[in-house]
Structure 1
Amino acid sequence: MTTDELTATISDMYRSLGDRPAFDAHLHPDLTIWESDADHLLRGLADLHALRDRRAAEAAGPAPLTVAPEQLHADCWGDTGVVRYVLRARHGGDRPDSCFRVTDVLRRAGTGWRIVHHHAEAMR
């Protein structure tokens, strides 16, 4: 087992952005989530879907041109791993990039690595 599998999982997940089923295949159904724009700990995919729907309803302007993880650093202990990275959303034009500090905790199961906890903090 190498940490390359962990970083590949994160990179593949963000390549799937915009395709909920493909993106969510990287997430454990009972994951927990801390997000800068959520006022409580999100629990499970239903809470994540509600957050996504709220964001879509409140969106001002077009979606980012790209969203990709950068500066990935991973560690692995058996069937548990952690990946830390900067998530950059490039908007183009005069609109500045959005950046987030992210930590994902992953567990390996029969279907591969899945995120069991996601913590994202907007960088100022």
Structure 2
Amino acid sequence: MTVDDLTAAITDMYRSLGDRAAFDARLHPDLTIWESDSPELLSGLPALDDLRDRRAAARGPAEAPTSVAPEGFRAESWDDTGLVRYVLRARYATGRPDDCFRVTDVLRRDGRDWRIVHHHAEALR
């Protein structure tokens, strides 16, 4: 496995955004998560689902981004551990300015696939 496999895993995950099962297939069930809009460290997929549901309730469907894509990858791996840093950009059809996040993901190889075990995203203002 190469660093290209790591960046492909992240890119594929964001391509499946909107299909929660496909997106979550790239996440370890016990992952930990730091997010700008959550004051505490989240642990596990149920905590992520709760954050997703709160976000959806706070915004209307018209405010949903038209695309979300990672860019500017820097990645490296050691055996079954990978580290990927990138900017995540959300674009909107309404003319609203893009949302950008500085992201670091730690991945572990699970069989043949890479799965995120820790995700840290910070909103850029």
Common topology (TM > 0.5) = yes
TM score, norm. by length of structure 2: 0.96
Which ranges in structure 2 are unaligned for 5 or more consecutive residues? none
Report the identity percentage. Answer: 70
Match of residue 13 from structure 2: 13
User: Secondary structure of the residue that 2:102 maps to in structure 1?
Assistant: strand
C-alpha RMSD of matched pairs (Å): 0.9
Runs of 4+ in structure 1 deviating by more than 3 angstroms, as ranges, are none
AA of the residue aligned to 2:11:
S
Q: Distance in 2 between matches of 1:65 and 1:109?
A: 31
How much does 1:109 deviate?
1.4
Match of residue 80 from structure 2: 79
Q: Distance in 1 between matches of 2:17 and 2:112?
A: 20
Q: Distance in 1 between matches of 2:112 and 2:45?
A: 17
How much does 1:2 deviate?
1.0
User: Secondary structure of the residue that 1:49 maps to in structure 2?
Assistant: helix
Q: Distance in 2 between matches of 1:62 and 1:55?
A: 11
Q: Distance in 2 between matches of 1:19 and 1:39?
A: 26
TM score, norm. by length of structure 1: 0.97
How much does 1:111 deviate?
4.8
2:112 paired with 1:96: no
